Structure 1
Amino acid sequence: MTDNHAEPSGTPSGTPSDATVPVRTHDDGDALRTDARSETADLPGIVAAAVPPGIRVASEWAWRLLLIGAAIYLLSLAVRSVSEIVVPVAIAILLTALLRPVANWLHHRMKPGAAAGITLLGTILLIGALFTLVGTQFSSGFSDLTSQVATGLERIRDWVRTSFHITDAQFDEYFNTIRDKVSESGNLGDTATSVGLTATHFIAGLFIALFSLFFFLYEGPRIWSWIVRLFPRATRPRVNSSGIIAWHQLSAFVRATMIVAFVDAVGISVGAAILKVPFAFAIGILVFILAFIPIVGALLSGAVAVLLALVAHGPGVALIMLAVVIGVQQLESHVLQPFLLGKAVSVHPLAVILAIATGSIIAGIVGALVAVPFAAVLNAVGKHLFSDESEGELDREMAASADEGGAPANA
């Protein structure tokens, strides 16, 4: 009897009857290769394989760098267009970092508004008193300085004539050429209009800086909390920690720079007073202000002191004044700055020069004042953001925030 369920011939025993064993043929292989090429043709890496990897990577970096450069350029244009607002606010932030300990000390004894108001009023009175003293010294010593300048210029003229063998006619010709160039450099009406606009901007910027300083001293933490809440919830811990790092960095930099500037001003003004250089107190104020511009400020203030000594007392006293300036600056660079600033706020000298140049181009002298603290803050925040400890801290803060179901702490 024939079994209807007998296995077909050629089917091995133990293999289920409904199983299909694929058999690859030559045509099937060609079809698989064709399908593979059609699928991989849509992959960008395979299509771009004809371009060398180095060129492809360079092109990717190039357009990203161009995009970043365009963003920085547009940001600088935006800052320059509203510089009348940005610069006073930046000055107010620097003054807040300097005066915050005074306001905190007063806050323990009175209400926050009164503490901020007294701190602001005391700062205004102190600055006004300093400028009043400088103006009094100028008004009392200007007549003496005029005669000293005339005598000093005559000495310089005799020294130039004997050293470089220049006749009086040649000297007068050079002097008249320089005078003509200066007189041709601008119109008097345009100059007066420019001075008027500058004075208006200065007064407006002064009021903006004073109002900003008061509210920064009064409600600084609340303002920062509002700024942090503008960011997405996931990034708030990193923004908050970066702001704390930036504030500590800025406070340390401003306070240390103030101490260094005070020592420089006292040293150079005392040296100028001993040598009887005119306007010794005014020189000290100028040194104190320009000391907030590293490298450049010291050169400018020292040049003014040496020039006044040269005009008033001749080359001998000017050389002694130059030695005093160099000695004070060496004390600053080798003792005060390493001890007060240390590695916490260290910025490479090349970065300092580039920051000062960029700040002066964008906002003039005020930009140069703000540039170096901004570079120090940017350096500290960058180290914080790219450190492994910061990433671990961010993960822990985000996990704690997720568990609590609310905003991060201090946000």
Structure 2
Amino acid sequence: MGRVSSDSKNTNESSGQKKSGGPNSPDPRDVVDGRDFADILMGSGRMDPESSLPLPGEDPAPVKSPAEASRESIFLDGDPAMSHPDEEVGPLQSDENAEPGKELRDRAEVIGTSARWAAGWSLRFLVVAAAFWVLGRALSGVWTGILPVILAIIVCTVLWPVVRLLRKGHLPNALAVLLTIILFFAVIGGIIAAIAPSVSKQIPQLVDRGAEGIEQIQNWVAGPPLNLQSDQIDNMIDQATNWVQDQTDQITQTAITGVSAITSGAITLFVMLVLIFFFLKDGEKFLPMVRRVAGRRVGWHLTEVLTRCWNTLGGFIRTQAIVSFIDAFFIGLGLVIMGVPLAGPLAIITFFGGFIPIVGAFTAGALAVLVALVANGFTTALIVLGIVLAVQQLEGNVLQPVLQSKAMKMHAVIVLLSVTVGGGLFGIIGAFLAVPVAAMITEVFRYIGDLTDLATGEKHSADIAFATSAGQQTGAQREQAAQRWQDWKKSLTTDDSGEPKPFSRFLAPLLPDDKDGKGGKDDKPSDDSASTQS
């Protein structure tokens, strides 16, 4: 006999015939209807054709003779769970009374079923898109308050190992945090102080060489193959000058906005410093508070997810710092060897640009080539371009696969799309934060996938690397629930000795009357028993 589909099981599970407390009864929380709001709104059942198909390795149902079918029809009559021909397993038999051009099933019914399925999934997609739109609007409204929190968390992932090391040296918690913050900003200030003199000396020289480079470009476009006249060149320069003059009001407004942005940046920096101090000092108390507020079950999930996100974010920042340092070192060394001015500042720009994957490295490399072109000429620019490409190939083919794959496990397409969307929505800050945010979202989906694998029995809890003991307990519970479900399914087809049940005994729990002398009782929990156990 073919297997009963999941919809048939759901129909009989919801019929709620009798109470039972058998040892193989599944957890009532595991027995679900399988329909969501879209199915109910569209007036359709769950479309799950895979549940009625044989699994790989199963033998197809044997084709029964008319005599066998007539003997077993007494168990099928009146049972709505067994009355759907599309839920039968086995090869489709041709009807002797079928004629060419005669419909075996109404075409409108088939098309309507598919249309309801498509409409249901379209409705789900619209709801998800609307939720993301509302979330984006809400974030844009409170972005000023969220930005220092996000930046503080990112900085904390960098400083936390230092704080932990100082704590092991028996320093007080607050003192260890304060010393770490002072050391961090001392390093940043030292780097700026080291490059400031060279920048102030070399920028005027770079401007002069840039003017000479512009004259060389004018001479080049005046010759073959362009052969532009001097009047045409002067006309183009005049048009550019007039355009700049026409934009005076906009430039003034931009300057005013820049002053406002500097003030806002100072406030953001101050708030970020305060948050960094308290995050590093009292961050370990956050997860216990989450468990108390959210409850045990939800708190366990949040503890595991947040810990995974923290580990992923810290791994991304540290590995990206290593990759960016290697890029900056070799590109800066090449600029020094070629005598390109501003080699130190360009190396630092390359380092910070490396934290914006793909886009940052490309922008920093293009800037280095442009400076080499203006200052040292076309030949030096080509050599610098070769150095930049060689270093980026080393990063993309060796460093990124080895280091970043362990930290994020994200495809390059996801990284590129994240940077593009983040930069388009929130500018440079959005491009910088796009990959860490995408990595944390990916970690959430990865955790959901792990729980799904445990629920379906595809994995065991020992096969998953949980970050916390709460995650291990949750995984063990999910695995036990899957085992209870498997035992209950097995109890439908085999008896206590492991022998297959007769056909009549297998269908007895599905019948409304007493066929096997048990008074209609079976091992499946009804709705009443499910609510009682819950």
TM over 0.5: yes
Tell me the equivalent position of 2:246: 184
The percent of aligned pairs where both chains have the same amino acid is: 31
Q: 2:168 aligns with which of 77, 83, 108?
A: 108
2:260 counterpart of 1:203: no
Number of residue equivalences: 357
Tell me which moved more, 145-154 or 199-208: 145-154
Q: 1:84 aligns with which of 144, 153, 156?
A: 144
Structure 1 residue 324, shift from structure 2 partner: 0.8
Distance 1:357 1:251 in 2: 22
Structure 1 residue 379, shift from structure 2 partner: 1.4
Tell me the equivalent position of 2:340: 277
Distance 1:62 1:173 in 2: 56
2:198 counterpart of 1:137: yes
Tell me which moved more, 182-191 or 301-310: 182-191
2:245 counterpart of 1:165: no
Aligned-residue RMSD, C-alpha? 2.4
5 Å-filtered alignment, 1:302-321, equals: 302-321=365-384
Q: 2:133 aligns with which of 73, 90, 113?
A: 73
Q: 2:181 aligns with which of 107, 116, 120?
A: 120
Letter in 1 for 2:423: S
Tell me the equivalent position of 2:309: 246
**8 A Cα contact 1:80 1:362, kept in partner:** no
5 Å-filtered alignment, 1:326-345, equals: 326-345=389-408
Distance 2:217 2:410 in 1: 41
Tell me the equivalent position of 1:11: none
2:364 counterpart of 1:301: yes
Letter in 1 for 2:185: I
**8 A Cα contact 1:98 1:251, kept in partner:** yes
Letter in 1 for 2:221: V
Distance 1:50 1:337 in 2: 50
**8 A Cα contact 2:422 2:430, kept in partner:** yes
Distance 2:254 2:419 in 1: 27
- Sort the Cα spacing of 1:45 and 1:263 in 2 relative to 1 into closer, same or farther, 3 A: closer
Distance 2:347 2:401 in 1: 23
Letter in 2 for 1:98: V
Tell me the equivalent position of 2:499: none
- Sort the Cα spacing of 1:66 and 1:185 in 2 relative to 1 into closer, same or farther, 3 A: farther
Tell me the equivalent position of 1:13: none
Distance 1:363 1:231 in 2: 31
5 Å-filtered alignment, 1:218-229, equals: 218-229=281-292
- Sort the Cα spacing of 1:333 and 1:45 in 2 relative to 1 into closer, same or farther, 3 A: closer
Structure 1 residue 334, shift from structure 2 partner: 1.0
5 Å-filtered alignment, 1:389-400, equals: 393=472, 394-396=474-476
Distance 1:123 1:361 in 2: 31
- C-alpha deviations, 1:252-307, integer Å up to 9, x for none? 11111000000111111111111111111000110011100111001110111011
Distance 1:334 1:266 in 2: 18
Structure 1 residue 146, shift from structure 2 partner: 2.5
**8 A Cα contact 1:76 1:362, kept in partner:** no
Tell me which moved more, 127-136 or 111-120: 127-136
Distance 2:206 2:151 in 1: 34
Distance 1:225 1:182 in 2: 58
Distance 2:412 2:139 in 1: 25
2:216 counterpart of 1:155: yes
Structure 1 residue 342, shift from structure 2 partner: 2.5
* Greater helix share, structure number: 1
Distance 1:390 1:211 in 2: 42
Letter in 1 for 2:234: D
Tell me the equivalent position of 1:405: none
**8 A Cα contact 1:347 1:376, kept in partner:** yes
Structure 1 residue 228, shift from structure 2 partner: 4.1
Letter in 1 for 2:162: V
User: Unpaired segments of 5 or more residues in structure 2?
Assistant: 1-41, 46-107, 456-460, 462-471, 481-534
- C-alpha deviations, 1:58-108, integer Å up to 9, x for none? 211122211111111111111112222222221111111122111111111
Question: TM-score, normalization: structure 2?
Answer: 0.63
Tell me the equivalent position of 2:435: 372
- C-alpha deviations, 1:193-221, integer Å up to 9, x for none? 21111111111111122112112211112
Tell me the equivalent position of 1:62: 122
Distance 2:477 2:407 in 1: 24
Q: 1:350 aligns with which of 413, 417, 421?
A: 413
Letter in 1 for 2:172: K
- Sort the Cα spacing of 1:263 and 1:50 in 2 relative to 1 into closer, same or farther, 3 A: closer
Letter in 2 for 1:185: Q
Secondary structure at the aligned position of 1:381 is classed as helix
User: Unpaired segments of 5 or more residues in structure 1?
Assistant: 1-42, 401-411
Distance 1:131 1:144 in 2: 20
Tell me which moved more, 373-382 or 228-237: 228-237
Structure 1 residue 398, shift from structure 2 partner: 8.3
**8 A Cα contact 2:319 2:407, kept in partner:** no
Structure 1 residue 349, shift from structure 2 partner: 2.2
- Sort the Cα spacing of 1:389 and 1:68 in 2 relative to 1 into closer, same or farther, 3 A: closer
Structure 1 residue 341, shift from structure 2 partner: 1.9
- Sort the Cα spacing of 1:158 and 1:111 in 2 relative to 1 into closer, same or farther, 3 A: same
Distance 1:230 1:300 in 2: 45
Letter in 2 for 1:386: G
Question: TM-score, normalization: structure 1?
Answer: 0.81
Between 1 and 2, higher relative CO (CA 8 Å, sep ≥ 6) is seen in 2
Letter in 1 for 2:191: L
- Sort the Cα spacing of 1:50 and 1:306 in 2 relative to 1 into closer, same or farther, 3 A: closer
